[in-house]
């Protein structure tokens, strides 16, 4: 699985990169056909507290999933995105099972 992390207009720390890679690795448990995960991080409206936006796009051989969240921290945003993607992957698996 290819993980690409893009930090827009700032430099993401190695610790943040590590955190993201560990989190998105969980997605493979739910679908072993995931080829690529693209993570984009950006700060929206720097003057507000809820300003860290994470968007994650998952490209699997049978689907393309997407989640985007804005939270207080990038870690929290990534966490919420991954949870949403896990639900999407479970739904996809259920749908395929019924066909």
- Rounded-to-integer distance, Cα 46 and Cα 96, Å: 42
pLDDT digits (tens, 9 = 90+) for 12-50: 999 999 999 999 999 999 998 999 999 999 999 878 889
pTM above 0.85, yes or no: yes
Q: Give the structural domain span for 15.
A: 2-97
- Rounded-to-integer distance, Cα 71 and Cα 22, Å: 19
Contact yes or no for 56/38 (Cβ under 8 A): yes
Contact yes or no for 23/57 (Cβ under 8 A): no
The domain total for the chain is 1
Residue scoring higher pLDDT (54 or 49): 54
Q: Give me the CATH number covering residue 61.
A: 3.30.160.100
Task: Supply 35's token pair.
Answer: 């080829």
């Amino acid at each position: 699985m290819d993980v690409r992390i893009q930090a827009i207009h700032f430099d993401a720390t190695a610790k943040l990169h590590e955190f993201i890679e560990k989190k998105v690795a969980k997605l493979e448990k739910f679908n072993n056909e995931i080829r690529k995960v693209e993570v984009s991080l950006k700060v929206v409206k720097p003057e507000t507290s809820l300003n860290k936006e994470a968007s994650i796009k998952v490209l699997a051989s049978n689907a393309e999933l997407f989640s985007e969240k804005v939270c207080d921290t990038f870690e929290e945003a990534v966490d919420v995105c991954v949870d949403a993607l896990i639900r999407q992957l479970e739904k996809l698996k259920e749908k395929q099972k019924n066909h």
